[in-house]
Chains A and B, each alone.
Chain A
Amino acid sequence: MSRDTRLAWINGLLLPLMNILTAFAATAILFLLINVNPIEAAKTLLYGAFGYGEGIGYTFYYTTNFIFTGLAVAIAFHAGLFNIGGEGQAYIGGLGAGLVVFMLFPGLSPWLMIPASIFGAMLFGGIWAMAPGYLQAYRGSHIVITTIMFNFLAATLMVYLLVKVLREPGKMTPQSVLFPDNAWLPFVHDVLPAFGIEMERSPLNLSIVLALVMAVLVWFFLWQTRWGYAIRATGRNASAAVYAGISQKKIIMVAMCISGALAGLVGINELLGYHHRIIMNFHIGYGFGGIAVALMGRNHPFGIVIAALLFGTLYQGGAELAFEWSNISRDIVVVMQGLVILFCGALEYMYKPWLVRWLAPVKEVQA
């Protein structure tokens, strides 16, 4: 095997694999620290995720969200931008979806209502991301800080709206009225019987189809269109992109807009697909999870789907863990997200010198 091929294997497979394993190892150590047997924990986790029908449903339902946010972060990364605003964009996307539902007649055919709502989610999410994008492109404001600020702003805005404006009249809980029937995205367990498959009830709904479609569309956009080419060129080499006549400002705006739109689709899964009303905090954790998913999936839609499945598994398995052990909560998944981002992102090349020296050393060339 030539040195170049070896290096490709190292960079493409071994390095990411070792990074992920390190993240898992660190988690195992954490489990030991809190007096939980890591093997038991792993078993429980896998059982929770795949051991029974409802669990499987939940797993894929979470996966859907991670696909959306993972794609969102990845597109921004391809343009050289770090979009940490997925949390806020997802939240506001849900707002957009709900507002469209309320604005259109209840009698409208679901074939029109649902796509309109999807559009609303993407529009609102996109705008929420484009604002920081604009500030970066035209005012030089650091996009990392502005997107974080917009996360906080989204939270306060939604609290205000759900408590003061959108709250179901006469009720105490800050949430909107129930969506009309034509705005309900069908559950998978309701659709499968038509194909002769029985499935336990779970939140899993047709958004997962939307998510997979989006993954394909994102792949197509990035690698099979000229705008995707322009985005990837900008992210790799801004000078070359300018040389090629690509407007940097436009790319920042477009990339952030698409990124926010994708994150906003979390609102579709959660609100149209499961809760059927606008509620508080449905978005928590998916935005940051998207960062981990994108890094693990190396910013490629195919890798992202797999990484999203992994995190969906962790999320659902984590719920089972929390059920079994009183000293574990869902936050364990947040810890794992942090570890993944640390080892697959910041410490991405930590193992590289050793791997290269061990597997693909430079041979001394005789002059």
Chain B
Amino acid sequence: MIEITSMNDMWLTLLLTLDATLRLSTPLVLAAMAGLFSERSGVVDIGLEGKMLAACFASATIAHFTGSPWLALLAAVAVSLGLALVHGFATITHKGDQIVSGVALNILVSGLTIILGLTWFRQGGQTPALTGEGRFVTLDLPGSELLHSVPLLGPLYKELISGHNILVYLAFALVPLVWWVLFRTRFGLRLRAVGENPKAVDTAGISVNALRYKAVMIGGVLCGIAGTYIAIAHNAQFTRDMTAGAGYIALAALIFGKWRPLTVLVACLLFGFLQAFAMRIEGVDLPVIGSIPVQIIEAVPYILTVILLAGFIGKAIPPKAVGRPYVKER
């Protein structure tokens, strides 16, 4: 229950909501960047969800056994990368249907994580709860305590900006990096080209398949980080299907953000904010409407995704060659 008694309280509430926004958006940002690389190169990746879930499981498992979050991260990235390569093998090398491949991997991971979890941990599919060792700790930025008493800005610094774990900072720092790679490097130029007109790239003497594999692999790495965050930073263990559709929401954010890193970031923040906001007002008696049932709140991200996709908020033009395998036709 929240009682708004003063401006200061309102400010604090807002900050806490924004704080939650950042934490909820982090996996979305990472997954959306993963999807960005893949789709910009022309490969649809419905399998973001599966890669993240696999990464969740891998990181939680390794964190349990080694107590080191960094080793857990490494393992998660390796697993996610492996799945990305399978997707690449099916769709790039064998020209298979990109969507069927993504769906297959999602379903496979959904079941496999439980089976392996049962075998190794006997806890009904989840991994043992991590106690602190093994989780990513929150970082308090220097000076946060000192500045705490500064009105307005103090709490802003302490609550919102400081006090996240390192993966959150990493995710947001990644976005400008992604932008830079896409638009300021040779690799980025070629990647964007291959998603628009692979034939032009081929005739320029550049390997289309190599570029696409690289894109898909980068996606694998990013999904690995996203899954690690969900499992051992945001939560403290792996539970069944814990990604809860984040992979698909990330895809929606990607479309909403028109495949550009900065706008995609905004879209992810928007989704995160809605989730945070929904959690805040759960059970709160709002004027006129009354208390909103928790299920409606849970449904908001999905409803919003559908509205987005229905194009009621602008039309999104994907990379021209996305979804089609490249075949040298005569």
Contacts and interface: CB of A to CB of B under 8 A. Distances in A.
Interface of A: 30, 33-35, 82, 84, 135, 139-142, 144-146, 148-150, 152-153, 156-157, 159-160, 163-164, 288, 291-292, 295, 326-329, 331-339, 341-342, 345-350
A153 B302 contact: yes
Given A160-B295, A338-B111, A342-B108, A153 B303 contact: yes
Interface string B214-248: 00000000000000000000000000000001001
- The 7 A-B residue pairs whose C-beta atoms are closest, nearest first, are A338-B108, A334-B111, A346-B101, A341-B104, A335-B111, A338-B107, A342-B104
A34 B99 CA distance: 29
Given A157-B295, A160-B293, A345-B104, A146 B115 contact: no
A337 B105 CA distance: 10
Interface string B278-308: 0000000000000001011011001101100
Contact of B310 (A139, A156, A329, A337): A139
B329 to A, nearest CB: 16
Contact of A327 (B122, B248, B305): B122
B231 to A, nearest CB: 18
Contacts of A332: 111, 115
Given A34-B115, A153-B303, A331-B125, A350 B94 contact: yes
A337 B309 contact: no
Interface in B82-101: 86, 89-91, 94-97, 99-101
A348 B96 CA distance: 7
Nearest to B97: A346
Interface residues of B, number: 47
B112 to A, nearest CB: 5
B110 interface: yes
Given A148-B245, A295-B100, A335-B112, 14 more contacts: A30-B115, A33-B116, A82-B103, A140-B315, A141-B309, A145-B309, A146-B309, A150-B302, A152-B299, A327-B119, A333-B111, A345-B96, A345-B97, A348-B96
Nearest to A338: B108
Nearest to A295: B100
B46 interface: yes
A233 to B, nearest CB: 20
A148 B301 CA distance: 12
Nearest to A334: B111
Interface of B: 46, 86, 89-91, 94-97, 99-101, 103-112, 114-116, 118-119, 122, 125, 245, 248, 251-252, 255, 293, 295-296, 298-299, 302-303, 305-306, 309-311, 315
B60 to A, nearest CB: 17
Contacts of B118: 326-329, 331
A334 B104 CA distance: 10
B56 to A, nearest CB: 15
Contacts of B46: 144
Contacts of B245: 148-149, 152
Given A82-B100, A327-B122, A335 B108 contact: yes
A326 B299 CA distance: 35
A337 B295 CA distance: 30
A346 B89 CA distance: 10
Given A84-B103, A148-B248, A346 B91 contact: yes
| Most interface-central of A33, A346, A349, A350 (chain B CB within 10 A) | A346
Nearest to A346: B101
A160 B309 CA distance: 25
Given A149-B305, A327-B118, A342-B101, A349 B107 contact: no
A145 B107 CA distance: 15
Contacts of B309: 135, 139, 141-142, 145-146, 149
